[in-house]
Structure 1
Amino acid sequence: MEAPLEEIEFLARSQNRVEVLRLVAAEPRTRQELATATGASQATLGRILEDFADRSWVSKEDRRHAATATGELVADGISGLISVLETEQKLRPLVAYLPTEEFGFDLRHLADATVTVPTRTRPSAPLQQVRTAIEGADTLRAFSHTLNEQTLSTVHEQVTGGDYAFEAVLSRSALEALAADASLWSQVRELSRRSNATIRVSEGEIPVAALIADGTVSLLVRDEHGILRASLSTDSAAVREWATDRFDRYWERANPFSPLDFN
C-alpha cells in the first residue's frame, strides 16, 4: 500500500486522472463518455481505470464505470485540495495586505471571489468594480476607514437620483479627510440631509473597508501606505454574514453624524 503523499503524487501527475475520478464520482460513465469529456485516448483511459480499479476507487457495471465509496472520498478530497490551491493562488499577490485577523470567515469562502487589481492601462479597475456593484444594487451599507472620491461620487449619484438606501459607518479620520476637500464635503453634507442616507461616526479605527451592495460584499485592500492594491467582490453567504454582523456592531457603537462637528 502506497503512502498518502505518494497517492496524491499519483493523482497530481496527471490531470486526466483527476478529471476521470471526479467525473465517475459525479455519476457512472462509459469509457466513451469519459473520452468525450476529457479528450483522453482510449488507451490512456484504460490505464487510468485499471489503476483506479487496483485501488478499489472505481467499479464497473454494464459498461459504466462508477466511483466506489472510497473513490468518492478521494475525489472529494482532491477537489477540495484543488479549490484551496486555486484560492491561494488568487490571494497570493495580496496576502501581505489582507487584514485576515479581522476576517471572521474561512478564506475558503473567497474561492469564487472576483479579484480586481489595478493595471497600467486600467489603474482604477478595482474602484470601477466597486462602482459597478454599487450601481447594480438598491441598498448599500458600508464601514470603512476611508471613502475615496470615486465611491463617494457614485453613492451621491445613486442616493440623490432615486430611492437608493445608503447607510455607512466611517471613522472620524475618514470624515476629517473628506472635510478637507470642499467639493467632497459638499457631497457628504448633501447626503446627510437625505432621508434615504444615514452616516454614523466611529471614534475608533475601522481596519477594514467593506461595502455590502444588496447581497454582494466588496472589500478594498490597501497597503501600509494607503495605496489601493485590489478589490475583492463575492456573493458568499459566509462573507456576507460576517460583513453584516461587523456592520451592525460598528453601527451600534458609532455616533450620529453632523457636519458641524467637523468645522
Structure 2
Amino acid sequence: MTWDRPGRDRLVLGVPREAFRPSPIFLALVALFVASGAMAWVGFGNVRFDIFLFVVSGWLVSLCLHEYAHAIVAFRAGDVGVAHRGYLTLNPLKYSNPLLSIVLPVVAVLLGGIGLPGGAVWVDRHHIPGRLRHSLVSLSGPAVNVFFALLLVVPFAIGVDTTARPEFWAGVALLGFLQLTASVLNLLPVPGLDGGNMIQPWLSPQWRRGYDILAPYGFILLFALLWNPRIGGWFFGAVFAVGDAIGLPAPLYSYGLQLIRFWSS
C-alpha cells in the first residue's frame, strides 16, 4: 500500500549506502523462512509448528518486498526521500507501524487465511512527475504479490508429488493462496489501497478531492465491503476461481490453514 505524503521534504541529494542495505530484521525473517521450510521438509520436531513458522515468516518477507517495490519505484521516479526514510532497507518496522505492518496481517492470516495488505510507505508525490509514474508506484507492490502467487503455483503446475511431504506442500499452497488474496485485495479500486491509488492520478479534480477524503478510511471501507455477505461471497468466489484457473490446489491450502493453527487439535 502507498500513502501520499503532503508537502515537501528538504531532501539530501547524497544517499548513503546504508540506506540500501537489507536490515537485520529482514535477513532474520529470510533465515527463519528457509530454516522452517527445511524443518518442515524433513519433518523435524512439531511439523505443524514448522509450517506455522514457514508460512508466517514467508508472508512477512513478501510484505517487506511488496513495500520495497513501492519504495524503489518511487525512488527511481524521483522521490529520493524514501531512501532517507528507511524504506529501502526492507525493515518491516519502517513501513507505517508494527501493528499495521506485522500484527494485523499475521492475525488475518491465522484467523481468516486472508492476505491482508500490510504496512505502507509514505511517498512524496510532489517529487514524482507524470501520472503514469504515480500509477506505476502503486502497481509495483501488487505486482510482487502476483509474481509470488504464480511462482508458488509452479510446483503444482509441473506435477510435483505432494503425497511424499504433504505438510510442506500444504504450506507452499497456503502461501500461494495468501499471495493470491493479497493480489486481488490490493488491486481493488478502493480509495487508499493500491488499486485505488493507481487510478487516482487520472481522476478529474472534483473526483480526486472526493477520493482524497475517503482514502484515509480505505481499510475500514475494505472491511465493511468484505463483511457484507454478498460482496464477501463475490470476492472469495473470484479468488477461488482464479486459484483453480492457475492450478492452486484448494485441498492443500485448506490443509495448510489447518496446520498453522498448531494450538488446536
Report the TM-score when normalising by structure 1: 0.25
Report the TM-score when normalising by structure 2: 0.25
More helix by share: 2
